[in-house]
């Protein structure tokens, strides 16, 4: 089967790579259509082809207003080129549609573009966060245009079907996969910012882009509570590029908190996760998280807030749950996990087992192939 995986703005290169490589291993002819990733290197293609089909004339630094403005006028032409080049594809599978209102016109029933064959969209976020006016309504209408929608959790499926009215038969629950390719990278040094953590000292890790909904403020409040009792017996690492101002949070952080407030490479990511003992995700809201599935791949114990699809992973025995936004409960759970090596090891072992089993990319690819086949033969 000829499959085109499309991520116009290169929002999720690790996910794109893992899915494309797994589909290729399973025998599909796969092309990833995307744009340059402005923050750093991306995984090398493994059995699939890559087309830099979007935003080839984008200007300005990553995340800048200039870059956003120069991408906007290119988008319709790039989508037209995608539609024309995809006429021989069996399925076009969008990972993201970044300009919902524009994409609705380009994909809708009156679209001037020559789309052929089924279209699929993965609902990584069921509705956009920090949305511009009209963005969420356009996202709802895009779901109606798709022949199939893939979502990563039962929570997300319920939102699509019950809240947004997407027909149940159109929604397919396929879990996110564990990023095992990161575990295969050559060992690399830790970022210099983390060198002050003594060897052997336990590490609690918060990883990924720092946004308000991810609860860094709640985590630091919990860590201050632990530090108020004396040495917390561990270091907290906060690793990821801030998308919000964290200057005040940094200033009030205890000495045992280390910050790496920048984009980190895959090699650095692997080094950080190899060193971590506990991964904490104190999110206020989420559908599902690639950070969680990185922690699974590295077989790490986790502490998660009870939002989105997180309870579904915790129910498998890989994480402890805490109520979202409650720093006291988070502090108590972190203390319990840090003090109980046997419990920590049990959570870690279960994470590794899930990564090798139901959350392996070969299993994820097989589930995608079943969806694609149902669309190709008209049974969906």
Residue with tokens 């052997």, as numbered in its chain? 200
Neighbouring C-beta atoms of residue 332, cutoff 10 Å = 15
d(CA 128, CA 321): 25
pLDDT in tens, 276-307: 999 999 999 999 999 999 999 999 999 999 99
- Look at residue 5 and tell me whether its pLDDT is greater than 70: yes
Average pLDDT for 66-80: 91
Q: Enter the pTM of the model.
A: 0.92
In sequence order, the β-bridge partners of residue 322 are: 305
* Structure confidence at residue 7 as a pLDDT band (50, 70, 90): very high
**pLDDT tens digit string along 307-331?**
999 999 999 999 999 999 999 999 9
What confidence tier does 380 reach under pLDDT thresholds 50, 70, 90?
low
pLDDT reported for residue 258: 97
- Side-chain-side CA neighbours of 106 within 13 Å: the count stands at 19
pLDDT for 229 equals: 84
Residue 62 pLDDT more than 90? no
Alpha-carbon dihedral 348, 350, 356, 357, rounded to 10 degrees:
-160
Token pair listed for 154: 């039962």
For 152-204, the pLDDT digits (tens) are 999 999 999 999 999 999 999 999 999 999 999 988 899 999 989 999 999 99
| pLDDT of the residue at 132 | 78
Distances (CA, A) of 238 to 77, 235, 280: 40, 10, 10
Architecture of domain 182-356: 3-Layer(aba) Sandwich (3.40)
Confidence at residue 129, expressed as pLDDT on a 0 to 100 scale: 80
Average confidence score pLDDT of the chain: 94
- Across-strand partners of 92? 4, 119
Predicted local confidence at residue 360, as pLDDT: 97
Q: Where are the domains of the chain?
A: 2-177+360-376, 182-356
pLDDT score of 378 more than 70: no
What pLDDT is stored for residue 74 in this prediction?
A: 95
pLDDT of 80-122, one tens digit each?
999 999 999 999 999 999 899 999 999 987 888 989 889 999 9
Considering the domain 2-177+360-376 in this protein, what is its CATH number? 3.40.50.2000
How confident is the model over 333-355, as pLDDT tens digits?
Answer: 999 999 999 999 999 999 999 99
Per cent of the chain over pLDDT 70 is 99
3-state secondary structure of 136: helix
- The reported pLDDT for the residue numbered 40 is 84
Bigger pLDDT: 12 vs 64: 12
**How far, rounded to the nearest angstrom, does the alpha carbon of residue 252 sit from its chain's CA centroid?**
29
Cα-based angle 279, 282, 283 (whole degrees, multiple of 5): 125
Residue 379 pLDDT greater than 70, yes or no: no
Which is more confidently placed, 377 or 117?
A: 117
Q: What is the pLDDT of residue 315?
A: 97
Among candidates 66, 67, 89, 77, which has minimal Cα distance to 113? 77
């Amino acid at each position: 089967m000829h499959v085109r995986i499309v991520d116009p703005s290169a929002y999720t290169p690790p996910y794109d790579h893992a899915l494309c490589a797994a589909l290729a291993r399973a025998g599909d002819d796969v092309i990833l259509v995307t744009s340059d990733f402005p923050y750093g290197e991306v995984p090398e293609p493994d059995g699939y082809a890559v087309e830099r089909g979007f935003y080839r004339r984008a200007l300005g630094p990553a995340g800048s207003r200039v870059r956003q403005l120069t991408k906007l006028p290119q988008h319709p032409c790039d989508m037209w080129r995608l539609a024309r080049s995809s006429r021989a594809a069996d399925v076009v599978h969008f990972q993201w549609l970044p300009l919902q209102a524009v994409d609705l016109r380009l994909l809708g029933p009156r679209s001037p573009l020559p789309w052929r064959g089924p279209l699929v969209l993965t609902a990584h976020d069921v509705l956009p966060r920090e949305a511009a006016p009209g963005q969420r309504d356009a996202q709802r209408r895009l779901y109606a245009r798709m022949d199939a929608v893939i979502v990563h959790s039962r929570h997300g499926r319920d939102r699509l079907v019950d809240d947004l009215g997407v027909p149940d038969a159109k929604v397919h629950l396929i879990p996110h996969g564990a990023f095992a390719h990161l575990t295969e990278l050559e060992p690399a040094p830790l970022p210099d910012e983390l060198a002050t953590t003594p060897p052997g000292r336990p590490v609690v890790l918060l990883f990924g882009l720092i946004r308000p909904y991810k609860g860094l403020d709640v985590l630091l409040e919990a860590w201050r509570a632990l530090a108020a009792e004396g040495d917390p017996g561990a270091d907290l690492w906060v690793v990821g590029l801030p998308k919000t101002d964290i200057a005040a949070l940094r200033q009030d952080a205890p000495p045992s908190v280390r910050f790496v407030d920048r984009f980190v490479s895959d090699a650095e990511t692997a080094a950080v996760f190899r060193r971590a003992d506990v991964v904490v995700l104190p999110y206020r809201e989420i559908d599902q998280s690639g950070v969680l599935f990185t922690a699974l791949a590295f077989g790490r114990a986790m502490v998660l807030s009870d939002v989105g699809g997180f309870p579904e992973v915790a129910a498998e025995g890989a994480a402890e749950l805490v109520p979202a936004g409650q720093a006291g409960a988070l502090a108590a759970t972190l203390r319990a996990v840090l003090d109980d090596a046997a419990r920590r090891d049990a959570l870690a072992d279960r994470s590794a087992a899930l990564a090798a089993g139901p959350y392996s990319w070969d299993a994820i690819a097989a589930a995608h192939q079943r969806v694609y086949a149902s669309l190709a033969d008209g049974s969906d």
